[in-house]
Amino acid sequence: MTFEPGQQLDPQSYVVTRGDLVRYAGASGDFNPIHWSDRVAASVGLPGVIAHGMYTLALAGRALTTWVGDPARVISVGARFTKPVVVPDDDVGTTVEVTGVVSSVDDGVAKIDLTVTSAGVKVLGMSKAAVRC
Amino acid sequence: MALDPGLAGRTFAPTAAYAVSREKVAEFAAAIGAAPLDDGEQASLTFPIVVAFQAMTGLMTDPDVGIELHHVIHVDQRFEQTRPIRAGDRLTGTLTIDSMRHGAGVDMISTRTEVATTDGGHVATAYATLAYREGPA
């Protein structure tokens, strides 16, 4: 697809369950127990088990891939992990929403500002991507 | 005890070669609920973290550093992609500590991991800031 400055990209909504975090731990190799053990999460002062920051960024990358079609077009993507995404040990999980807006298009490169929220709270900061048009 | 600020600028040994399989590509995509790319041959956008995380683990377990994962907070992460990772790639990650800051009992470690094939082809650069706070296990 082509990008125009100011263009709003289709919002994406993803459900995250505790089981997804366990799968992601295995897939990524990040077995930090704060992402699967309530006991360890509590011991370091967290409100509960939280998603890997990289899980949330992977969802932003999934949305970006949906928008651009071919991820080979992506030049860069990144974010700050500003708020934890608490994932309860139930069958419902929590929902992460990803929206994007094209902030500029210059020299064949579109800059995209992503907004990633969970339970109405922005969980990633400075979430930006650059893609080839 | 704060980490040695002299670690800034240090480059660690490359991680052992990581052979990317279709199975691992599929496992990663399934974990984030994503559809297969290019008939399952192409990895998800953030797949370089698999190798970058190995490099960060090498940093944390280095005898000169020695910090435990659950005392570390991943503050930020950014990828610059040269090309997507594909099944069949053999990858290594080489981590450099770009800078270190200490304040209020927290060490902030800015890292850069160059992810490349074993024959030297650049794939991605992964930038990460890690915050380490000592505390009870």
Is the pLDDT at A51 greater than 60, yes or no?
yes
User: What pLDDT is stored for residue B111 in this prediction?
Assistant: 98
**B50 three-state secondary structure:** helix
With a CB-CB cutoff of 8 Å, which residues 19-58 of chain A face chain B? 20, 23-24, 26-34, 40, 43-44, 52-55, 57-58
| Residue B34, in any domain of the structure | no
CA distance B100 to chain A (A): 17
Q: What share of chain B is helix, strand, coil (3-state, %, to 5)?
A: 25, 40, 35
Question: Which range marks the domain in which residue A67 is found?
Answer: 8-132
Contact residues on chain B for A59, CB-CB shorter than 8 A: 32
Is residue B48 within 8 Å of B126, Cβ to Cβ? yes
Contact of B17 with chain A, judged by CB distance below 8 Å, is answered with no
CATH number at residue B85: 3.10.129.10
CATH number at residue A28: 3.10.129.10
Is residue A94 within 8 Å of A85, Cβ to Cβ? yes
Task: Give kind and range of the element (H or E) at residue B22.
Answer: helix B22-31
CA distance A106 to chain B (A): 18
Query: pLDDT digits over A17-41, tens only?
Result: 999 999 999 999 999 999 999 999 9
- DSSP letter for A61, please: H
Contact A80 B75 (CB under 8 A): yes
Contact residues on chain A for B73, CB-CB shorter than 8 A: 81
| Residue B29, in any domain of the structure | no
Nearest residue in B to A39, CA atom: B137
CA distances from A70 to A62, A66, B44 (A): 11, 8, 11
Structure tokens at A106: 């210059």
Query: pLDDT digits over A79-126, tens only?
Result: 999 999 999 999 999 999 999 999 999 999 999 999 999 999 999 999
Query: pLDDT digits over B93-129, tens only?
Result: 999 999 999 988 899 999 999 999 999 999 999 999 9
| Residue A2, in any domain of the structure | no
| Residue B33, in any domain of the structure | no
| Residue A25, in any domain of the structure | yes
List helix spans (H) across A1-73: 18-28, 38-43, 53-68
Question: Which range marks the domain in which residue B83 is found?
Answer: 5-20+47-133
What backbone torsions phi and psi does residue A131 show, to the nearest 5 degrees? -135, 150
Query: pLDDT digits over B59-85, tens only?
Result: 999 988 888 887 888 999 999 999 999
User: What pLDDT is stored for residue B135 in this prediction?
Assistant: 66
* Predicted confidence band of residue A44 (pLDDT cuts 50, 70, 90): confident
Contact A29 B136 (CB under 8 A): no
- Looking at the structure of chain B, the number of domains it has is 1
Is residue B130 within 8 Å of B109, Cβ to Cβ? yes
ipTM above 0.90, yes or no: yes
| Residue A1, in any domain of the structure | no
User: What pLDDT is stored for residue A98 in this prediction?
Assistant: 98
Contact residues on chain A for B70, CB-CB shorter than 8 A: 32-34, 40, 44
Is residue A129 within 8 Å of A76, Cβ to Cβ? yes
Angle ∠(A67,A72,A73) on CA atoms, nearest 5: 55
Contact A26 B77 (CB under 8 A): no
First to last CA, chain B: 15
Contact of B108 with chain A, judged by CB distance below 8 Å, is answered with no
Contact residues on chain A for B84, CB-CB shorter than 8 A: 71-72
